[in-house]
A and B are shown apart, each in its own frame.
Chain A
Amino acid sequence: AQSVTQPDIHITVSEGASLELRCNYSYGATPYLFWYVQSPGQGLQLLLKYFSGDTLVQGIKGFEAEFKRSQSSFNLRKPSVHWSDAAEYFCAVGVNTGTASKLTFGTGTRLQVTL
Protein backbone atom coordinates (compact mmCIF):
# COMPACT_ATOMS: atom_id res chain seq x y z
CA ALA A 1 0.00 0.00 0.00
CA GLN A 2 1.09 3.54 -0.60
CA SER A 3 2.38 5.72 2.20
CA VAL A 4 4.05 9.06 2.82
CA THR A 5 6.46 9.73 5.67
CA GLN A 6 7.39 13.13 6.97
CA PRO A 7 9.97 12.35 9.65
CA ASP A 8 10.10 15.81 11.19
CA ILE A 9 7.04 16.71 13.26
CA HIS A 10 8.26 20.18 14.15
CA ILE A 11 11.07 22.36 12.78
CA THR A 12 12.24 25.77 13.94
CA VAL A 13 14.35 28.04 11.75
CA SER A 14 15.44 31.65 11.98
CA GLU A 15 14.08 34.14 9.53
CA GLY A 16 16.45 34.39 6.57
CA ALA A 17 17.83 30.90 7.08
CA SER A 18 17.42 28.12 4.55
CA LEU A 19 14.81 25.40 4.95
CA GLU A 20 14.48 21.77 3.96
CA LEU A 21 11.45 19.66 4.85
CA ARG A 22 11.79 15.95 4.28
CA CYS A 23 9.29 13.66 2.56
CA ASN A 24 9.67 9.98 1.72
CA TYR A 25 7.06 8.02 -0.18
CA SER A 26 6.24 4.41 -0.88
CA TYR A 27 4.33 3.67 -4.05
CA GLY A 28 4.63 0.87 -6.58
CA ALA A 29 4.14 2.94 -9.71
CA THR A 30 5.41 6.27 -10.95
CA PRO A 31 4.63 8.70 -8.16
CA TYR A 32 2.73 11.91 -8.59
CA LEU A 33 3.79 14.09 -5.68
CA PHE A 34 2.49 17.24 -4.07
CA TRP A 35 3.38 19.68 -1.32
CA TYR A 36 0.60 21.61 0.41
CA VAL A 37 0.76 24.33 3.08
CA GLN A 38 -1.82 24.99 5.79
CA SER A 39 -2.09 28.07 8.00
CA PRO A 40 -3.79 27.55 11.39
CA GLY A 41 -7.52 26.93 11.08
CA GLN A 42 -7.41 27.14 7.30
CA GLY A 43 -7.62 24.83 4.32
CA LEU A 44 -4.68 23.53 2.30
CA GLN A 45 -2.97 25.46 -0.49
CA LEU A 46 -0.92 23.75 -3.16
CA LEU A 47 2.73 24.80 -3.17
CA LEU A 48 3.99 22.63 -6.01
CA LYS A 49 3.59 19.31 -7.76
CA TYR A 50 5.71 16.76 -9.60
CA PHE A 51 4.39 14.62 -12.42
CA SER A 52 7.33 13.89 -14.70
CA GLY A 53 10.29 15.50 -16.41
CA ASP A 54 12.64 17.82 -14.58
CA THR A 55 13.19 16.50 -11.08
CA LEU A 56 13.54 19.98 -9.62
CA VAL A 57 10.17 21.70 -9.55
CA GLN A 58 9.42 25.28 -8.69
CA GLY A 59 6.39 26.37 -6.76
CA ILE A 60 4.76 29.42 -5.29
CA LYS A 61 6.20 31.62 -2.55
CA GLY A 62 9.79 30.79 -3.53
CA PHE A 63 9.57 27.08 -2.68
CA GLU A 64 11.10 24.29 -4.70
CA ALA A 65 11.26 20.52 -4.36
CA GLU A 66 13.53 17.85 -5.74
CA PHE A 67 12.32 14.39 -6.71
CA LYS A 68 14.90 11.65 -6.11
CA ARG A 69 13.65 8.29 -7.28
CA SER A 70 16.64 6.39 -5.89
CA GLN A 71 15.87 7.71 -2.41
CA SER A 72 12.05 7.75 -2.75
CA SER A 73 12.16 11.33 -1.60
CA PHE A 74 10.55 14.62 -2.50
CA ASN A 75 12.08 17.19 -0.17
CA LEU A 76 10.83 20.76 -0.03
CA ARG A 77 13.32 23.62 0.12
CA LYS A 78 13.45 27.37 0.40
CA PRO A 79 16.67 29.41 0.34
CA SER A 80 15.53 32.11 2.75
CA VAL A 81 12.57 31.71 5.08
CA HIS A 82 10.21 34.56 5.89
CA TRP A 83 8.20 34.85 9.11
CA SER A 84 5.02 34.41 7.07
CA ASP A 85 6.14 30.88 6.10
CA ALA A 86 5.27 29.64 9.57
CA ALA A 87 2.60 26.99 8.93
CA GLU A 88 2.11 23.26 8.60
CA TYR A 89 3.37 21.54 5.50
CA PHE A 90 2.02 18.33 4.03
CA CYS A 91 3.50 16.04 1.43
CA ALA A 92 1.12 13.83 -0.56
CA VAL A 93 1.18 11.17 -3.27
CA GLY A 94 -1.57 10.76 -5.89
CA VAL A 95 -2.97 7.24 -5.92
CA ASN A 96 -5.22 5.37 -8.31
CA THR A 97 -7.99 3.22 -6.86
CA GLY A 98 -9.59 1.54 -9.82
CA THR A 99 -11.48 4.25 -11.65
CA ALA A 100 -10.90 6.81 -8.93
CA SER A 101 -7.98 8.84 -7.73
CA LYS A 102 -7.16 10.25 -4.33
CA LEU A 103 -4.32 11.74 -2.31
CA THR A 104 -2.48 10.00 0.51
CA PHE A 105 -0.95 12.51 2.92
CA GLY A 106 1.94 12.47 5.33
CA THR A 107 1.39 13.51 8.93
CA GLY A 108 2.76 16.99 8.33
CA THR A 109 5.66 19.13 9.53
CA ARG A 110 4.97 22.22 11.57
CA LEU A 111 7.36 25.06 10.78
CA GLN A 112 8.11 27.73 13.34
CA VAL A 113 10.08 30.82 12.28
CA THR A 114 11.98 32.84 14.85
CA LEU A 115 12.79 36.49 14.29
Chain B
Amino acid sequence: DGGITQSPKYLFRKEGQNVTLSCEQNLNHDAMYWYRQDPGQGLRLIYYSQIVNDFQKGDIAEGYSVSREKKESFPLTVTSAQKNPTAFYLCASSIRGYRRTEAFFGQGTRLTVV
Protein backbone atom coordinates (compact mmCIF):
# COMPACT_ATOMS: atom_id res chain seq x y z
CA ASP B 1 0.00 0.00 0.00
CA GLY B 2 1.19 3.50 -0.77
CA GLY B 3 1.74 5.81 2.10
CA ILE B 4 4.06 7.67 4.43
CA THR B 5 6.05 5.90 7.12
CA GLN B 6 7.45 7.76 10.09
CA SER B 7 9.82 6.16 12.55
CA PRO B 8 10.19 5.75 15.38
CA LYS B 9 6.72 6.25 16.83
CA TYR B 10 8.19 7.32 20.18
CA LEU B 11 11.58 8.91 20.73
CA PHE B 12 13.31 10.08 23.86
CA ARG B 13 16.12 12.60 23.84
CA LYS B 14 18.48 13.72 26.51
CA GLU B 15 19.31 17.37 26.94
CA GLY B 16 22.00 18.44 24.47
CA GLN B 17 21.54 15.56 22.06
CA ASN B 18 20.66 15.67 18.40
CA VAL B 19 18.04 13.21 17.18
CA THR B 20 16.83 12.34 13.71
CA LEU B 21 13.26 11.51 12.77
CA SER B 22 12.70 9.40 9.69
CA CYS B 23 10.08 9.98 7.01
CA GLU B 24 9.72 7.79 3.94
CA GLN B 25 7.01 7.89 1.27
CA ASN B 26 6.19 5.62 -1.66
CA LEU B 27 3.53 7.84 -3.21
CA ASN B 28 5.97 9.25 -5.79
CA HIS B 29 5.27 12.74 -4.47
CA ASP B 30 7.74 15.51 -5.15
CA ALA B 31 6.82 17.69 -2.17
CA MET B 32 7.41 16.76 1.46
CA TYR B 33 6.78 18.65 4.67
CA TRP B 34 7.52 18.54 8.39
CA TYR B 35 5.03 19.92 10.89
CA ARG B 36 5.23 20.27 14.64
CA GLN B 37 2.08 19.87 16.72
CA ASP B 38 1.66 21.20 20.24
CA PRO B 39 -1.58 21.13 22.24
CA GLY B 40 -3.79 24.09 21.37
CA GLN B 41 -1.47 25.38 18.65
CA GLY B 42 -2.45 23.33 15.65
CA LEU B 43 0.23 22.33 13.16
CA ARG B 44 3.16 24.60 12.46
CA LEU B 45 5.41 24.16 9.45
CA ILE B 46 9.08 23.47 10.16
CA TYR B 47 10.59 22.76 6.74
CA TYR B 48 9.36 21.79 3.31
CA SER B 49 10.90 20.49 0.12
CA GLN B 50 9.48 20.66 -3.38
CA ILE B 51 12.20 18.69 -5.16
CA VAL B 52 15.27 16.62 -4.39
CA ASN B 53 18.27 18.55 -3.07
CA ASP B 54 16.17 21.61 -2.32
CA PHE B 55 14.26 22.68 0.79
CA GLN B 56 12.94 25.83 2.43
CA LYS B 57 12.40 26.99 5.99
CA GLY B 58 8.91 27.09 7.30
CA ASP B 59 7.55 29.17 10.14
CA ILE B 60 9.53 27.59 12.99
CA ALA B 61 12.79 26.26 11.47
CA GLU B 62 15.16 27.37 14.24
CA GLY B 63 16.81 24.41 15.93
CA TYR B 64 15.91 21.98 13.15
CA SER B 65 17.67 20.75 10.02
CA VAL B 66 16.61 18.57 7.08
CA SER B 67 18.03 16.92 3.99
CA ARG B 68 16.44 15.72 0.78
CA GLU B 69 18.89 13.45 -0.98
CA LYS B 70 16.23 11.08 -2.29
CA LYS B 71 12.73 11.74 -3.53
CA GLU B 72 11.18 9.29 -1.11
CA SER B 73 13.02 10.39 2.05
CA PHE B 74 12.95 13.60 4.09
CA PRO B 75 14.60 13.14 7.51
CA LEU B 76 14.33 15.80 10.20
CA THR B 77 17.08 16.41 12.75
CA VAL B 78 16.16 18.07 16.00
CA THR B 79 19.34 19.71 17.18
CA SER B 80 20.45 20.70 20.66
CA ALA B 81 19.69 24.30 19.66
CA GLN B 82 15.96 23.55 19.78
CA LYS B 83 15.14 24.61 23.31
CA ASN B 84 11.72 23.03 23.60
CA PRO B 85 11.69 19.95 21.38
CA THR B 86 9.04 17.91 23.19
CA ALA B 87 6.19 17.69 20.69
CA PHE B 88 4.40 15.51 18.15
CA TYR B 89 6.04 15.66 14.73
CA LEU B 90 4.16 14.96 11.52
CA CYS B 91 5.57 14.37 8.07
CA ALA B 92 3.46 14.92 4.96
CA SER B 93 3.79 14.74 1.19
CA SER B 94 1.89 16.05 -1.80
CA ILE B 95 2.08 16.60 -5.53
CA ARG B 96 4.48 19.44 -6.09
CA GLY B 97 3.63 23.06 -6.49
CA TYR B 98 -0.15 23.27 -6.36
CA ARG B 99 -1.83 24.74 -3.32
CA ARG B 100 -5.05 23.01 -4.09
CA THR B 101 -3.38 19.67 -3.70
CA GLU B 102 -4.12 17.74 -0.56
CA ALA B 103 -1.32 16.60 1.72
CA PHE B 104 -1.02 13.03 2.94
CA PHE B 105 0.26 12.52 6.47
CA GLY B 106 2.28 9.93 8.31
CA GLN B 107 1.34 8.59 11.74
CA GLY B 108 3.70 10.89 13.58
CA THR B 109 6.62 10.67 15.98
CA ARG B 110 6.27 11.76 19.58
CA LEU B 111 9.52 13.23 20.84
CA THR B 112 10.11 13.66 24.55
CA VAL B 113 13.09 15.26 26.25
CA VAL B 114 14.15 13.38 29.37
Bin the interface of chain B by size: 20 to 34
A-B contact count (CB 8 A): 71
Neighbouring B residues of A9 by C-beta, 8 Å: 40
Smallest Cβ-Cβ distance to B41: which chain A residue: A107
Q: Do A102 and B58 touch (CB < 8 A)?
A: yes
**B63 on interface, CB distance cutoff 8 Å:** no
**B1 on interface, CB distance cutoff 8 Å:** no
How far is the CB of A53 from the nearest CB of chain B, in Å?
A: 12
Known: A42-B108, A43-B105, A44-B105. A101 touches B40 (CB 8 A): no
- A44 to B92 alpha-carbon distance, docked (Å): 9
Q: Do A103 and B103 touch (CB < 8 A)?
A: yes
Neighbouring B residues of A42 by C-beta, 8 Å: 107-108
Please tell me which one of the listed residues B42, B44, B58, B108 contacts residue A43 in the complex, with CB atoms under 8 A apart: B108
Neighbouring A residues of B88 by C-beta, 8 Å: 41
How far is the CB of A42 from the nearest CB of chain B, in Å?
A: 6
Q: Do B100 and A100 touch (CB < 8 A)?
A: no
**A76 on interface, CB distance cutoff 8 Å:** no
How far is the CB of A22 from the nearest CB of chain B, in Å?
A: 15
Known: A41-B110, A42-B107, A43-B106. A102 touches B100 (CB 8 A): no
Neighbouring B residues of A90 by C-beta, 8 Å: 42-43
In the complex, which of the residues B33, B43, B45 has the most CB atoms of chain A within 10 Å of its own CB atom?
B43
B88-112 with Cβ < 8 A to chain A: 88, 90, 92, 94, 96-108, 110
Closest 9 CB pairs of A and B: A94-B99, A43-B105, A101-B99, A32-B100, A107-B42, A44-B105, A105-B43, A105-B42, A43-B107
A-B contact pairs, 7 of them (CB 8 A): A32-B99, A41-B110, A95-B99, A99-B50, A99-B97, A101-B97, A105-B35
